[in-house]
Amino acid sequence: MKLIVGLGNPGSKYARNRHNIGFMAVEQIAADHGFGPWKSKHQGSISEGRFGSTRAILLRPETFMNKSGDSVAAAMRFHKIDSEDVVVFHDELDLAPGKVKFKMGGGHAGHNGLRSIHSHLGPDYGRVRLGIGHPGHKDRVAGYVLNDFAKAEADWLDDVLRGVSDGAAYLAEGDNAKFMNAVSMRTAPARPSTGKKGPAKAPSEPVSAAPIKEASDNRSAVQKLMDRFK
Catalytic (active-site) positions: 19
Strand partners for 99: none
Angle between helices 154-166 and 21-32 (to 10 degrees): 50
With 0-12 CB in 10 A as exposed, 13-18 as middle and 19+ as buried, what is 10?
A: middle
What sign results for the dihedral spanned by CA atoms 161, 109, 118, 149?
negative
Decide: helix, strand or coil at residue 83.
helix
Rounded to 5 degrees, what are φ and ψ at 45? -120, 135
Helix, strand or coil for residue 102?
Answer: strand
Report the DSSP pairing between strands 86-92 and 2-6: parallel
Strands 100-104 and 86-92: unpaired
Q: How big is the CA angle at 66 (ends 183 and 169), to the nearest 5 degrees?
A: 25
Q: DSSP letter for 163, please.
A: H
CA–CA gap between residue 109 and residue 111 (Å, rounded): 6
Report strand pairing: 100-104 vs 54-61: unpaired
